[in-house]
Structure 1
């Protein structure tokens, strides 16, 4: 089954677990091949000291040339547009040709357009998309405008990633369990992403030893509507895959909905009666997306439904 696109330019993706790996750590780069995460962010920003940036870029160039990631998305996080490292980072991105470039601290639509123009100049727009980190007060306030800018930036904007560590720092919100005072910010980002057909990835959890607290945060993020979670440690992968995945019951229900709408008697209907409840075509679209993601997992694990 082909994946249906919410964003008319890009197909739906499996993004339950998005692991961030420092580009300076060659051993960590090598280990990504054996991990069960759905995507990897190769980080040139926060996890790399200024004097190590050039070495980290060379690490990535070798990695992508010799042992590129297979079967999962590869994203490179660059340093901010205003930094002295940005131009060299973008040159490395264009040389490596990952699936996407992740921009930190996106504050306004112009940030997206600037990078889209750079990619267009290098003929990288066919294969390379843009992800945006929303992690500043201005970024949250402008989330809808940033999301909407994807339409004028060649449709390259594909995903929002929330960064709560920086947002907490700039707002003074305490890092309390349950993220009570951060929920309004998170939901504003979700709403903006959904309005323009973008995926949204929940912020990292700094808890990779206290996994009970981490899993509670995963469950909360899934309930909010996030597609997955950004991770800082391989120990967090399993929890994200479970919480942002789907149960056998949900998979069975999706198959039932798809089969019901494929029946010749209902093929032209927008609403059908399915076992005593009304099911609309929007539920069919959701079911098709779920089944498409299930097929990605099945293909990766070498099994069939």
Structure 2
């Protein structure tokens, strides 16, 4: 099959395990000579045992690569009617591994483009048969304004997106989930209008987490600072979500100001890792 991929899909392509999560084993491949190596690595990821003890599918997906800006749509659907709460702008690493390292919401697109993006999300949720659930639909908007759906899930988005929705809009997606499960009317009317962003602190290299320096203190517009990996634990580099060691959440009234503040705080953070070779790697944002 690998030899036929360039004839069926134009390079670059996305190679990923059929069953896994957190960007594990996902690669963007531009060189056909790398396909066998990347395919084998993705298959090994699929063959791992998931945390719940369920053996994962070891098949591999080879997909069209879509260039553009990635967004997600955070939605609540009840009785088959979908209400879209916010469009989230996603920040990802460049290169072969596209790992999410930040989120910002709500993002306001040009009216015609926004209508197109939300319409695609509505069609996707209907096609999947989602009638009563919160959901998270990921799309890519290409440079020419086309909108491609790349993933949809009947859950709250990760990376603290549920927290961002509540900070920015005053809407609790966890509460909406409970109301949906109990068949109660869901209230998702925004209570205020603000902006909220998250930035994910990522290890610069695989090894053992030795130190985290210059983490900001929570307070004021800095809503949350959390370390998610203990010192001395093994970490990966920025190839998957396993490289995340913490995150921070900032909120406020102005979109540009909140994002600038979060970026400045993240730039000061240093992640010190003892690499397998015995050397140290220090970095903040990838």
Shorter-chain TM-score category? under 0.3
Structure richer in helix, relative to its length: 1
TM-score (norm. length: structure 2): 0.27
Structure richer in strand, relative to its length: 2
